[in-house]
Amino acid sequence: MEKSRECTPMVVVQAAAVTQDPSSFPSADEPSPTVLEGLVLPHRFRAWSGSHFEDDSDNLWKLALEGSGAGAWDWNLVTSEQIHSHRWQQMLGYEVGEIAHANHEFVSRVHPDDLATVSTAFTNYLQGRSPSYAVDLRLRCKDGSWKWIHTRGTVVSRDAQGQALRMIGTHTDISERKAAEAALRDSEERWKLALESTGDGVWDWHIASGREYFSKRLVEMYGFTEDELANKPEELDQRTHPDDLATMQQDRQAHFDGLTPTYSNEHRVQCKDGRWKWVHTRGMVISRDADGRPLRMIGTHTDITDRKNAEALVRQHAYFDPLTGLPNRRMLRDRLEQEIKRSRRDGLQLAILFIDLDHFKEVNDTLGHDNGDLLLLEASRRLRQCVRECDTVARMGGDEFTVLLTELMPETDLEPLLHKLLQTMAQVFQLGQEQVFVSASVGVTLYPADGTEVEALYKNADQALYVAKGAGRNRFSFFTPALQEAALTRARLTNDLRHAVGLQQLQLLYQPIVALASGAVHKAEALLRWQHPERGLISPAAFIPMAETSGLIVPMGDWVFEQAALQVQAWRRSLAPHFQISINTSPVQFQHSHRPDTNWVQRMAALNLPGDSLSIEITEGVLLDSNDSVTAKLLEWRDAGLQVALDDFGTGYSSLSYLLKFDIDFIKIDQSFVRDLQPASSNFTLCKAMVAMAHALGLQVVAEGVETAQQRDLLVQAGCDYAQGYWFAKPMAAEALADWVAART
């Protein structure tokens, strides 16, 4: 047993591993106790002697092996004697006989990095955990270089307890294959590096084994370090957003099945810190088995979070109103289309409410846009409060909102909700220091009773809103077929109106304006009429709004100006040298896009008409809208001596600041104040106040709609300068007016 005591530790260790704890397999340089004391060498054991096996059958095997180019070894696990064939020795560059027949000769040549692999493979084999002992390892050659060897062996003799006593095996030089593999790996590495340099992460998936490789950049993309995910790449896989798994699976399968040349999918991955990242993954199967089943796939991850965020932002802008965060017109349309489908299926009813804030414009213009925004925000909050979660409140732009009420039973009564909505909107709005009151006008239409298409429903709601506003605001109005009829009539009339000027269907009537102190008549207001071939005389209240919405008011306004200019030129000669005609204008005529074609000032100069021969009546709407073009126009008129009258004073916002800011010559007290004028009435007080205020500002006052002597007297008492009304004269044709004036003097 001297021998076993002398034997290299490795042999002892390897033998010990057979019976003892495999984890005790020590490294080559760690001595370990001899445990084979007392073991008897089996009688059958034959050692190599030089290059020969001792019995014939062994000899045959040896020849066969040497012929194949493989080396052979024969190892006595008890004595740790190990015989290496010629080829074995030559493979490492040794002369035959240069290497002692001992296991340590083998062990000492094993690359330190491969020792653990070898011992694990060996232990697994001896303990029956793997069916064969086969392992790739590097051995040091005589010249110090390394060779890759594939060694495989088998136990050929055991003792009575089944412990291995002898193993034989082969050595095959696989350096070339390993070099080729290394070169391939190298080029793969380079590819991965190249891909990584683009900022992308790289993955490599061995489908058959399920092994996955993630590059450094890839794991870092999600806030991990390589170490954290080493050996457990599945942790990253589990971080895919559950909603995205199905499409990933589909896209991958399509590529596996050859339907797409590459695999491409966008999905979310949760980072280590819990945030989600959007990635675009692209990949390709690079090897398949004989049946075409994918074996390996490589690909990349590109971080597209920024792009996705930008897309979300664009979507947000495209579908939501930036100020209130409410769905916008586009989004509402999508929803309405969906809801129509759903209601059709479920036999339910929908209601569409067009809502317009009354007097929003005044607030915006007088208190500034910031306060206007505050008002809109608060209004949208109140609207939301009035409806259920399933309903949609959308902002269509400006002060227009739309509410879509869904899932209504056919018998649902909407009136309580509409009353509540109006009440809520009529409550005071606190805008910083300011308190304002606005109200809402609401037009309502129902699906399917009033219409089944989006366009038709919108049109209905719009008509109903038009009626609600026309009826004095702060109210709701349901769409009815009569509205539909009225809308149709409007459309037809608008069409007829286009030809009215050319067909000479328009006419100007004149209503005298009387100087109250003297009774003199040096002024008249031109009032437009439309002689419709079928419908007869149409009043301006009926067709001016149509002319405004269609833009026809601009050429019509120019026509009015031209007629009045020619008329006043004539009357200045025939009636009174300072005669003045006032003409009405619409705010639309002041809008940029509708700048009149005719320059009135130039035209008057051409006609040799002094500026004060015309007075232009404007409404507060023009001043509210005041932009640079309005201001410029008013200044141009003032410089030319034209006078400006503020019509319908007292009905609108009636802001003093306007009177001061713009150079106004007259205010015209609206008929509504004159109508109920009684000595002790509040209207009388108001009239007196308006006159006093106007005079204090250097303006003159015209009262409209004077129908009785008492009204006239009270206006005289109030200090009013001029008056017009049926009590003096109704609007009349030009010739009639000339006669009327002549008759008075």
3-state secondary structure of 624: helix
3-state secondary structure of 117: helix
- DSSP-derived secondary structure for 16-76: HHHHS-GGG---TTS------TTPPPPTT----BTTB-SSHHHHHHHHHHHHHT-EEEEEE
Q: Could you tell me the smallest distance in angstroms from the CB atom of residue 517 to ligand C2E?
A: 20
For ligand C2E, the closer of residues 202 and 703 by Cβ is 703
> How many residues make contact with ligand C2E (CB under 6 A)?
23
* Options 16-24, 35-43, 533-541, 608-616: segment touching ligand C2E (CB under 6 A): 533-541
Residue 726 binds which of Mg ion, ligand C2E, none (CB < 5-8 A, kind-dependent):
ligand C2E
**Strands 400-408 and 349-358: what pairing?**
antiparallel
Q: Could you tell me the smallest distance in angstroms from the CB atom of residue 674 to ligand C2E?
A: 8
Cis peptide before 416 (omega within 30 of 0): no
Q: Contacts by 637-641 with C-beta closer than 8 Å and gap 24+?
A: 637/600, 637/601, 637/611, 638/663, 640/601, 640/604, 640/605, 640/611, 641/610, 641/611, 641/612
Q: Which residues of 430-449 are buried (b: 16+ CB within 10 A; e: fewer)?
A: ebeeeebebbbbbbbbbbbe
Residue pointed to by tokens 């690079």: 286
Is the Cα dihedral 473, 476, 482, 485 positive or negative? positive
Q: How far apart are CA 354 and CA 41, in angstroms?
A: 105
Q: What type of residue is 684? A: F
Q: Could you tell me the smallest distance in angstroms from the CB atom of residue 475 to ligand C2E?
A: 23
Residue 437 binds which of ligand C2E, Mg ion, none (CB < 5-8 A, kind-dependent):
none
| 731 is a site residue for ligand C2E (CB under 6 A) | yes
| Residue 475 CA to its chain's centroid (Å) | 35
Binds ligand C2E (CB under 6 A): choice among 11, 516, 527, 737: 527
| 528 is a site residue for ligand C2E (CB under 6 A) | yes
* Options 226-234, 381-389, 690-698, 724-732: segment touching ligand C2E (CB under 6 A): 724-732
* Options 31-39, 439-447, 530-538, 723-731: segment touching ligand C2E (CB under 6 A): 723-731
Asked if 546 and 488 count as a contact pair (C-beta separation under 8 A), the reply is no
Binding mask 388-407 for ligand C2E (x = CB under 6 A): --------------------
For Mg ion, the closer of residues 462 and 704 by Cβ is 704
Q: Could you tell me the smallest distance in angstroms from the CB atom of residue 585 to ligand C2E?
A: 5
For ligand C2E, the closer of residues 356 and 647 by Cβ is 647
Residue 540 binds which of Mg ion, ligand C2E, none (CB < 5-8 A, kind-dependent):
ligand C2E
Q: What type of residue is 118? A: V
Q: Say how many Å lie between the first and final Cα of the chain, rounded.
A: 159
For ligand C2E, the closer of residues 443 and 731 by Cβ is 731
Binds ligand C2E (CB under 6 A): choice among 647, 703, 715, 734: 647
Q: Rounded to the nearest 5°, which phi and psi values hold at 700?
A: -100, 160
Binds ligand C2E (CB under 6 A): choice among 32, 187, 539, 678: 539
For Mg ion, the closer of residues 357 and 583 by Cβ is 583
Binds ligand C2E (CB under 6 A): choice among 586, 613, 615, 643: 586
3-state secondary structure of 713: helix
* Options 120-128, 353-361, 628-636, 703-711: segment touching ligand C2E (CB under 6 A): 703-711
Binds ligand C2E (CB under 6 A): choice among 662, 725, 734, 737: 725
Q: Could you tell me the smallest distance in angstroms from the CB atom of residue 654 to Mg ion?
A: 13
Nearest residue to 565 (alpha-carbon basis) of 590, 601, 593: 601
Residue 290 binds which of Mg ion, ligand C2E, none (CB < 5-8 A, kind-dependent):
none
For ligand C2E, the closer of residues 16 and 706 by Cβ is 706
For Mg ion, the closer of residues 303 and 617 by Cβ is 617
- DSSP-derived secondary structure for 251-284: HHHHHHTTSSSSEEEEEEEE-TTS-EEEEEEEEE
* Options 128-136, 410-418, 578-586, 658-666: segment touching ligand C2E (CB under 6 A): 578-586
Binds ligand C2E (CB under 6 A): choice among 105, 365, 373, 707: 707
Residues 491-520 that bind ligand C2E (CB under 6 A): 511
Neighbours of 656 (CB within 10 A): 10
DSSP count for the chain of H helices, then E strands: 28, 26
Q: Which two tokens stand for residue 502?
A: 């050319």
Q: What strands lie across the sheet with 276-288, from one edge to the other?
A: 211-214, 201-206, 294-303, 276-288, 263-270
Q: Could you tell me the smallest distance in angstroms from the CB atom of residue 338 to ligand C2E?
A: 44
Residue 707 binds which of ligand C2E, Mg ion, none (CB < 5-8 A, kind-dependent):
ligand C2E
| 4 is a site residue for ligand C2E (CB under 6 A) | no
Nearest residue to 460 (alpha-carbon basis) of 474, 472, 473, 446: 446
CB-based contacts of 736, cutoff 8 Å, min separation 6: none
Q: How far apart are CA 279 and CA 299, in angstroms?
A: 12
Q: Could you tell me the smallest distance in angstroms from the CB atom of residue 342 to ligand C2E?
A: 47
Q: Which two tokens stand for residue 367?
A: 């208190």
Residue pointed to by tokens 């949609």: 392
Neighbours of 621 (CB within 10 A): 18
Residue 541 binds which of Mg ion, ligand C2E, none (CB < 5-8 A, kind-dependent):
ligand C2E
3-state secondary structure of 356: strand
Q: Could you tell me the smallest distance in angstroms from the CB atom of residue 669 to Mg ion?
A: 9
Binds ligand C2E (CB under 6 A): choice among 259, 428, 541, 709: 541
| 704 is a site residue for ligand C2E (CB under 6 A) | yes
For ligand C2E, the closer of residues 320 and 653 by Cβ is 653
Q: Residues in the site for Mg ion, rule: CB under 5 A?
A: 584, 617, 647-648, 704
For ligand C2E, the closer of residues 22 and 596 by Cβ is 596
Binds ligand C2E (CB under 6 A): choice among 648, 677, 691, 734: 648
3-state secondary structure of 737: helix
Q: Where are the alpha helices (DSSP H) in 299-359?
A: 305-319, 329-346
Q: What type of residue is 359? A: H
Residue 126, H or E segment: helix 115-126
| 711 is a site residue for ligand C2E (CB under 6 A) | no
For ligand C2E, the closer of residues 223 and 596 by Cβ is 596
Residue 586 binds which of ligand C2E, Mg ion, none (CB < 5-8 A, kind-dependent):
ligand C2E
For ligand C2E, the closer of residues 360 and 543 by Cβ is 543
Residue 486 vs residues 426, 542, 645: alpha-carbon distances, Å: 29, 11, 33
Residues 615-634 that bind ligand C2E (CB under 6 A): 617
| 544 is a site residue for ligand C2E (CB under 6 A) | yes
Nearest residue to 514 (alpha-carbon basis) of 677, 693, 701, 650: 701
* Options 222-230, 407-415, 425-433, 698-706: segment touching ligand C2E (CB under 6 A): 698-706
For ligand C2E, the closer of residues 460 and 585 by Cβ is 585
* Options 36-44, 538-546, 649-657, 687-695: segment touching ligand C2E (CB under 6 A): 538-546
Q: Which two tokens stand for residue 426?
A: 């009529």
* Options 55-63, 360-368, 484-492, 700-708: segment touching ligand C2E (CB under 6 A): 700-708
Binding mask 656-685 for ligand C2E (x = CB under 6 A): ---------------x--------------
Positions that interact with ligand C2E (CB under 6 A): 511, 527-528, 539-541, 544, 560, 584-586, 617, 647-648, 671, 704-707, 724-726, 731
